[in-house]
């Protein structure tokens, strides 16, 4: 079974996890109507609901540093594409974490052509959701309403508006096929809850909104499961209630790193100390908290089994004395970091070139 996400920086091919979900390995979800036209719900036709919400959907363009395939070559800049949705008049945009997590620059484009720079303010890769803040409020904000995903039932009609293959504001339609836990995603997405939908896989919709027939956002497009990596895969969107709780209520730190949790045979091969679990750092965004703490990204592409990894970077073993290999270690670390005050020292225990080190830094005020 192959895992794919949806909004990819070009030339990226990395399976991600841990604190991020990298756009490179993933392919994008969009929902498609198969067969007869949808039956109107709530007194509005699909075309009417689409017109009502279309202007709230944005295209997201990113640039990030990437390791080229040639050994020893310097980092290159690659372009990425995804989708998102405006959720506040002052310029907050919901999207998928893997679209923006390690981006060097982010530009958001609206239906009317207005283009604004943006930055990540909160991100939770373990649920593949992120919140952007535009550099200034849009001229004519058309804000989408964040719905209650708990009211969504299997069989309900839903639709996605996004930018498949870069063609913006494309409508695709389907139904909710199921409600799933984190077991249907990568092993690192332990905080997620998904709405499964019949879906066509198309690059560029990643991070886009899944709407119900009232025009409420009930999910954020995340990933697919596919045997071939093609468009016959099953599509999944993170529920709006999970996005609301993690990003608008708990407000996690944006780390700016992309990594994957390693354990078992791979951890043994990399000589991890007991309890034998760590976060392999693969990419780091310039100016991010991860860079300020002195963490180092990977330098060498490798394929181990079915996984494409970037090796040579630090392996995070513990944060504030809490080991990632402890029972529920990730959640405990997350709670500790969220509760930390600006200026409070944070200590990270890492494995670098076979040696255990401690890095200490502070969160920005």
Lowest-confidence range among 108-117, 236-245, 326-335? 326-335
In this prediction, residue 33 carries a pLDDT of 32
Whether residue 36 is predicted with pLDDT greater than 60 in this model: the reply is no
- Catalytic entry in 30, 98, 123, 258: 98
286 is catalytic: no
Whether residue 235 is predicted with pLDDT greater than 70 in this model: the reply is yes
pLDDT > 90: what percent of the chain? 62
In this prediction, residue 185 carries a pLDDT of 65
- The tokens for 342 are 């600006």
Region 216-240: mean pLDDT is: 79
Local confidence band at 104 (pLDDT 50, 70, 90 cut-offs):
very high
**CA 99 – CA 283 distance, rounded (Å):** 13
pLDDT > 70: what percent of the chain? 82
223 is catalytic: no
- The tokens for 152 are 């969504």
In this prediction, residue 189 carries a pLDDT of 80
Whether residue 4 contacts residue 15, with contact meaning beta carbons closer than 8 Å, is answered with no
First-to-last CA distance in the chain? 43
Q: What totals of helices (H) and strands (E) does the chain contain, helices first? A: 6, 24
Give per-residue pLDDT as tens, 311-352: 999 999 999 999 999 998 999 999 999 888 878 899 999 999
- The tokens for 260 are 């994957």
Region 61-82: mean pLDDT is: 84
- The tokens for 191 are 């905080």
- Catalytic entry in 206, 222, 226, 240: 206
In this prediction, residue 90 carries a pLDDT of 97
Domains along the chain?
Answer: 2-249 (2.40.10.120), 257-362 (2.30.42.10)
Give per-residue pLDDT as tens, 126-176: 999 999 999 999 999 999 999 999 999 999 999 999 888 888 998 888 999
Whether residue 8 contacts residue 179, with contact meaning beta carbons closer than 8 Å, is answered with no
Highest mean pLDDT among 94-108, 248-262, 294-308: 94-108
206 is catalytic: yes
- Catalytic entry in 16, 83, 128, 288: 128
Give per-residue pLDDT as tens, 42-54: 568 999 999 999 9
In this prediction, residue 259 carries a pLDDT of 92
Average pLDDT along the chain: 85
**CA 336 – CA 210 distance, rounded (Å):** 32
**CA 75 – CA 302 distance, rounded (Å):** 16
């Amino acid at each position: 079974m192959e895992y794919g996400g949806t909004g990819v920086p070009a030339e990226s091919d990395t399976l991600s996890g841990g604190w991020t979900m990298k756009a490179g390995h993933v392919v994008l979800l969009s929902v498609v109507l198969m067969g007869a036209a949808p039956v109107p719900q709530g007194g509005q036709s699909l075309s009417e609901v689409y017109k009502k919400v279309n202007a709230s959907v944005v295209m997201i363009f990113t640039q990030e540093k990437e390791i080229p395939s040639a050994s020893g070559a310097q980092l290159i800049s690659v372009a990425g594409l995804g989708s998102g949705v405006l959720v506040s008049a002052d310029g907050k945009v919901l999207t998928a974490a893997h679209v923006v997590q390690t981006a060097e620059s982010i530009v958001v484009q609206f239906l009317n052509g207005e283009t604004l720079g943006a930055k990540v303010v909160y991100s939770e890769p373990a649920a593949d959701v992120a919140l952007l803040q535009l550099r200034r409020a849009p001229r004519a904000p058309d804000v989408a309403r964040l719905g209650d995903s708990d009211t969504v039932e299997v069989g309900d009609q839903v639709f996605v508006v996004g930018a498949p293959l870069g063609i913006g504001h494309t409508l695709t339609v389907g139904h909710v096929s199921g409600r799933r836990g984190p077991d249907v995603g990568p092993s690192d997405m332990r905080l997620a809850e998904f709405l499964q939908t019949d879906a066509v896989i198309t690059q560029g919709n990643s991070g886009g909104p899944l709407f119900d027939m009232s025009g409420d956002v009930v999910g954020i497009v995340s990933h697919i499961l596919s045997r071939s990596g093609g468009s016959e895969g099953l599509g999944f969107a993170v529920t709006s209630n999970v996005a609301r709780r993690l990003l608008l209520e708990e407000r996690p730190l944006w780390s700016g790193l992309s990594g994957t949790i390693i354990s078992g045979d791979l951890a043994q091969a990399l000589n991890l100390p007991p309890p034998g679990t760590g976060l392999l750092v693969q990419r780091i965004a310039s100016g991010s908290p991860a860079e300020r703490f002195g963490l180092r990204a990977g330098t060498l592409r490798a394929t181990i089994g079915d996984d494409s990894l970037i090796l040579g970077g630090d392996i995070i073993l513990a944060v504030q004395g809490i080991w990632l290999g402890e029972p529920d270690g990730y959640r405990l670390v997350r709670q500790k970091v969220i509760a930390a005050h600006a200026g409070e020292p944070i200590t990270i225990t890492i494995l670098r070139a076979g040696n255990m080190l401690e890095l200490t830094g502070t969160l920005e005020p």
